[in-house]
Structure 1
């Protein structure tokens, strides 16, 4: 039986990325249970054991070590290892087509990433999301995620193996699309990175990937040079098992041998050398798979190759024997691996038809239809689960996108409000500053006005004081002037009196009998009396002459003022007559004349009039 290249890829693609070989599992478990093993070493062992059991389809054992790794990571608060364990758990669920159980695991991984800045944790959370989208057939989205993640992975030298896995996933997608150019590009990168990482299982898978890429041009050209390149890559993958004992798993090595044997069947002519190599490879496969689990597909593939060789030798009985054995082996696997089973029963139907055993041919052709129908139903169920998962994923992404947009909108709105608040605060600040400035200006202006008012009041006060001072000085000057006038009047009266006395003295001197001493003595008495009168008038009534002048209706003479002064001082007619050396009759006539000048009637006494004037 000749297996097609696309079928080989399918078988290979779902059975790659193997961990350390089976012989190391016991050693890993012993080291894990050793009390002296460090925590970091335990995490490394957990990753290797989980990877080994996962790719071997031993999911319960893989889940057991994932759980232990999770518990240790949570205890040690190692977020990177916790996310790695969650990623392995998610991949286990995907390999079992439990798509609905993966999103919560992705959310848990993302939640851990949110509370830590660990780049490794973030990368493995992204790797789980990438694997999930790839399993759902969301290849375009997967490519975008990988291309976005690769630059970050390349910055971490410790994650070369993760880098190789991401490139291997890209190779698988482009192979699915029959894009030989891009598939070859990423397969080469996977080979280079696997070599740097030192992981021989990854390198074996990468070599097998290159073989698939080289097979594309051979299918188109049929050039044996291209086929030789395919065989060369397969041999590199096979040789790793012997070059690095213990570093390549038996399962991975069996797959490499199956690929090499299948590609050898592609030669147009099977030479004895090629036949021998094919037989040796299939024999080794059957030996290796005796010690591995879930290997029915690999064993059936090896038996199919041997059946193909027997058919080429026209040995139909041997060919039938190999095919029937392959059918029995495949039936022991639950669920049956229908992809290989269909090829086996198809070859049996053709073999029985060739032998003219139409009953058997019809029986196996019916099985082909039955298994094809079951494969279709299985595919439909798988597709339905995948579509449901895609729908849930898209709805979640839509909700997330809507939530993100809403959050962005709220953020923008919040920023807008913050901006408005800031603008408001700035406005309020400037308003406050303006108000403060205006208030300060108003206060300063008020102070200035108060100062100006105070200055004005002081000025007015000073002016009033100055006016009062000037008035006082003017009044003083007036008083001084009145006093001087009074003194002058008094002096005039005295001088007049002296002149009169001197005139009388001159007249008397002609009389030889006059007593000069008696006259001088009398004059001295009169002078003393007049001095008293003058002092009294000046001290008590400095405005005497001014007031009587104002009351007089006719102008008063100096003699009139003298009489007014003597009358005001209370002198009677005789005293005035004696003082002025006149007759009393003359004094009475003068008084009468003064009444007329003051507008007084005859009954009003001048003494009372003058006293009334100065008592007002």
Structure 2
């Protein structure tokens, strides 16, 4: 009952906030409607339609945006007004992007791009490439995203738009950051920051500092992150940018979440939430409530976490953002799992996982499927657990492959960055050489002049010449030492970069090894379950066989006795069939690839029966368990082990440990 009252209260707050927000927008929409009535020219009407579409697109009101876009397109087609068509397609694409319909957004943007190229509108052309870059980045197509941003950058440079140039550097830095390419990302953020500082765009300086702070958070350099984030916070407070202040608070909270300072993170998230509520910013409120729920979840306060997630989900349903909604639903499912409410956990986790599968968010698929698999296991539904595990396994493999591609791209980018640095060093060296030649030429001319002076002034001129020569030599020595020191510093910096790259590569390799070990452990567990099931199956058949034989001895009817003997034959046939062994062998080879191949290469005399025995020993089964699984006596199992040890030429080493080392 208390939970229901809390939900109603949250719903009332959300509805009132939407009403207040709608009231603030009415004046702009009304003014545009008045302008529409007064517009006599078709071109002006198209422009007003596009302005209305722009307003509704920013509100992600799909029905109204599409309505006014269609009006603009229809009127523009009738009057062959290309610019009006271009703007209509552009704002429709912005709507699709806001709703995460990336494919529709790209298709619509290409229509706008075609018209912009016809009109040779460089500014709109660059804006379209900028939006395309954002879509490719969200989809994880980082190479295409960089190409789009580079096209936008060149167009902005042609327009001599310093602000646009810096913005594209900032966007490219975001892509490099997603690729894990720290040197290139930091380089582009610094370029954007330098331009904005030179052009006195202090608000954008705050944006760049915030981004650089996030970059240092991802590098676990919290000292530098704190410096840049606090500078960004200072600028945003100076200009009273409430939304920006809330965003920086969120990033400071993220830094403390990663370093497990959950109480500090909670305070920052709460400050962020208070500002978003004041601004009636629905996206910010939903995000902050989700993050506060995350804090509670990490602090194992699951009921408090549930309340925050539910409040966040109520807002996200209004905003119609599929990915964000699914993320919160996944966390609600995780909370239900911790509270052991497994049926509810399945409902939320399964729904979230399907959304992530549709949109291709691999890391989210891994997170949701991993928990859903555990829920099914807790329910005892091992079939569904295995099905979800396959989804988890495929997504995890894709994430590993994607990480490998990112690692290669990171290494290539770092290599290119190093090449650029080497090129700059060579240019600096060439300049130094040119200066040295110039100095030598000047020095030769001075020597000639001094010789004339010596001839005129005799000893006075010679004395002055020696003093001047000594002074120049000292200066050159100092200058050469400074150059050598500079070159030494640059070499040290290059070594540090190479060390960082090797360190990152080692961390990735270690993570891959951990995942492989985890995968093998899971497969071993599954194989053990299959083998134990086989034992129980064999024991059940043997018990049934003994009971039937007793019945044959006691029965006096010949027909019944013959019928029971046929049943005995079928049971013996079932005990001798190897279909379960085929399933066991397939699963075993998935967990331990090349195990049989390596044994055959080292010991070609091993039979199929010997290989089965080797696999069971690899899983750690003792002689009594081997006898049950292979349907032989305990003495036969011991003799089989002895013969196998003889074939393997083992004297003292334990068979099971030997198999684990193969």
In which range does the TM-score fall when normalised by the shorter chain? 0.3 to 0.5
Q: Which has the higher contact order (CA 8 A, sep 6+)?
A: 1
Which has the larger share of helix? 2
**Which of structures 1 and 2 has the bigger CA Rg?**
1
| TM superposition score normalised by structure 1 | 0.48
